[in-house]
């Protein structure tokens, strides 16, 4: 293993070093034994990296041990605590600790305590550990469930699909610019406007859904209606164009086509990149053909990847806000759905992380 060698002072002969190791074992000093064994490897010509690999620690830790040995011999390697786990990590160990946390996340408290004990001989109280983890920028919360069939490279797949959509738009614009007739046969052709990017999905809110929490001395009650309301909601969340929302009877291909026409009507200028999942009606040939006629590039999400569609976050907030609404009529419920969706769709916060990961490919500017 390649690596840097460090000059080690020969405070002891090799035989004396072996005797020091035996004495530390007899005295019940496992930490000192470990460090002296590491020094023995350095005596034998190991690089810092090789000795670290044998000791099961990082190279910087071996560097610290060798510095301590060079300065004070055996006493320099003796832990500065009286039995039990040492009180804290050294700066180099803390760097290694954060690296291990990042590589192995997510963690439970018990798993992190075990990591500290096994790798660094350190024990922190739960409160102190929580403060340390927060200082590192970690957060404690419920894991977001992910579908086990979701592709490992889902983000890469989406990025490639977006790249292909942009290339298709560029090629279409080039062809239109060089068309000697000056004609374009699209229903609503790009006219030099910027590319609009948006997301499509459907949801079915219910008047009985309750998502918010309240303070109460007893069991809180909120009046709801148990009537079944038709509220199959189609939403288009636009990043740099006009969003759209509509209530449809079903989510069949013909309803999807109708809603796509609505999207184009509200965004008449320029190409549109429409991100959506692979629901059966979304991938219907009629939908694909109409999108092509209207100058809309359909970008399908990888399977089982709703987290890559920002409109999912908007829908979650929509349902939360609707749970605070009491209505007794279907028409009033549908009206509130559309009103709240339109208010929420004016926020970019639902797509901030998505834009950071994917939006650089289009160089779009927000135009609300």
Among 36-40, 101-105, 309-313, 325-329, the range with the most confident prediction by mean pLDDT is: 309-313
Residue-level pLDDT at 128? 83
- Mean pLDDT value of segment 302-315: 94
* pLDDT surpassing 70 at residue 255: yes
Q: Which residues are registered as beta bridge partners of 299? A: 275
DSSP per residue, 221-262: ------S----EEEEEEESSS--EEEEES---HHHHHHHHHH
Query: Residue 67: pLDDT above 80?
Result: yes
Give the model's confidence band at 173: pLDDT under 50 very low, under 70 low, under 90 confident, else very high: confident
What backbone phi and psi angles, to 5 degrees, belong to 303? -60, 145
Compare 59 and 355 and report the one with higher pLDDT: 355
Residue 136 clears pLDDT 80, i.e. is over it: yes
- Average pLDDT, integer, range 16-34: 85
- Supply the pLDDT for residue 177: 55
Q: Is the pLDDT of residue 181 over 60?
A: no
pLDDT band at 313 (very low <50, low <70, confident <90, very high): very high
- CA-wise closest residue to 190 among 260, 290, 268, 291: 268
Query: What would the two tokens of residue 93 be?
Result: 């160990």
pLDDT score recorded for residue 287: 97
- pLDDT at residue 321, rounded to an integer: 86
Instruction: Look at residue 284 and tell me whether its pLDDT is greater than 50.
Output: yes
Q: Does this model's pTM top 0.85?
A: no
Burial (0-12, 13-18, 19+ Cβ within 10 Å), 187: exposed
Tell me the longest C-alpha to C-alpha distance in the chain: 95
Predicted confidence band at 225 (pLDDT cuts at 50, 70, 90)?
Answer: low
The reported pLDDT for the residue numbered 78 is 79
- CB contact set of 68 (below 8 Å; sequence gap of 6+): 76, 77
Q: Between 183 and 168, where is the model more confident? A: 168
What's the mean pLDDT in 104-128? 85
The whole-number average pLDDT for the span 194-205 is 93
Model confidence at 184, pLDDT cuts 50, 70, 90, reads: very low
Q: How confident is the model at residue 76 (pLDDT cuts 50, 70, 90)?
A: confident
CA gap 94, 241 in Å, rounded: 47
Q: State the DSSP string of 179-212.
A: -TT----SSS---SPPPEEEEEEEE---TT----
Task: Show the domains of the chain with their CATH numbers.
Answer: 14-135 (no CATH), 154-361 (3.30.420.10)
Instruction: Measure the CA–CA gap between 20 and 11, rounded to whole angstroms.
Output: 12
pLDDT of 156 > 60? The answer is yes
343: pLDDT strictly greater than 90: yes
**Radius of gyration of the CA atoms of the chain, in A:** 31
The answer on pLDDT for 353 being more than 60 is yes
pLDDT at site 160: 94
pLDDT of residue 224: 60
Contact 199, 358 (CB under 8 A): no
Mean pLDDT across the stretch 151-167? 92
Bridge partners for 196 per DSSP: 272
Q: What is the mean pLDDT of the chain?
A: 83
In this prediction, residues 127-153 reach a mean pLDDT of 82
Q: What is the mean pLDDT of residues 77-87?
A: 61
Which stretch of 11-15, 250-254, 295-299 has the lowest confidence by average pLDDT? Answer: 11-15
pLDDT surpassing 70 at residue 304: yes
- Which pLDDT band, with edges at 50, 70 and 90, does 354 fall under? very high
Q: Range with the lowest mean pLDDT among 165-169, 280-284, 362-366? A: 362-366
Mean pLDDT across the stretch 141-153?
77
Cα torsion 143, 148, 150, 155 to 10°: value is: 40
363-366 long-range contacts, CB within 8 A, separation 24+ = 364/194, 364/195, 364/197, 364/239, 364/240, 365/194, 365/240, 366/239, 366/240
The angle subtended at Cα 165 by Cα 164 and Cα 170, nearest 5°, is 95
Total residues belonging to the chain: 368
- Of the candidates 222, 223, 209, the one whose C-alpha atom is nearest the C-alpha of residue 317 is 209
Phi-psi region of 137 (alpha: psi -120 to 50; beta: other; left: phi over 0): left
Q: Residue 281: what pLDDT?
A: 95
Per-residue pLDDT at 188 exceeds 60: no
Q: How far apart are CA 291 and CA 297, in angstroms?
A: 7
């Amino acid at each position: 293993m390649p690596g840097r060698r460090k000059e080690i002072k020969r405070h002891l002969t090799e035989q004396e070093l072996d005797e020091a190791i035996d004495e530390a074992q007899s005295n019940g000093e496992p930490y000192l034994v470990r460090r002296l064994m590491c020094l023995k490897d350095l005596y034998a010509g190991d690089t810092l990296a090789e000795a670290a690999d044998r000791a099961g620690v990082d190279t910087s830790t071996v560097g610290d041990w060798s510095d301590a040995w060079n300065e004070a011999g055996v006493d320099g390697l003796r832990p500065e605590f009286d039995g039990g786990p040492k009180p804290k990590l050294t700066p180099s160990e803390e760097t290694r600790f954060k690296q291990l946390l990042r590589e192995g996340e997510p963690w439970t408290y018990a798993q992190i305590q075990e990591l500290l004990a096994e790798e660094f001989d350190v024990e922190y109280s739960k409160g102190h550990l929580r403060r340390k983890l927060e200082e590192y920028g970690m957060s404690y919360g419920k894991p977001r469930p992910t579908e086990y069939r979701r592709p490992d490279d889902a983000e890469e797949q989406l990025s490639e699909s977006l790249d292909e959509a942009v290339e298709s738009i560029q090629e279409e614009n080039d062809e239109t610019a060089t068309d000697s007739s000056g004609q374009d046969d699209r229903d609503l052709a790009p006219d030099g406007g910027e590319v609009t990017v948006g997301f499509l999905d459907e949801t079915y809110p219910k008047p009985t859904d309750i998502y918010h929490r309240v303070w109460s001395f007893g069991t809180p009650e909120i009046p709801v209606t148990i009537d079944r309301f038709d509220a199959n909601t189609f939403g288009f969340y636009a990043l740099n164009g006009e969003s759209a929302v509509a209530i449809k009877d079903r989510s069949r291909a013909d309803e999807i086509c109708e809603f796509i026409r609505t999207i184009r009507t509200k965004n008449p200028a320029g190409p549109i990149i429409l991100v959506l999942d692979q629901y059966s009606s979304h991938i219907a040939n009629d939908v694909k053909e109409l999108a092509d006629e209207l100058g809309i590039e359909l970008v399908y999400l990888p399977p089982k990847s709703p987290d890559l569609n920002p409109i999912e976050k908007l829908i979650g907030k929509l349902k939360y806000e609707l749970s605070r609404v009491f209505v007794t009529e279907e028409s009033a419920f549908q009206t509130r759905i559309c009103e709240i969706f339109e208010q929420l769709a004016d926020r970019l916060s639902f797509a901030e992380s998505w834009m950071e990961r994917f939006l650089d490919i289009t160089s779009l500017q927000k135009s609300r």
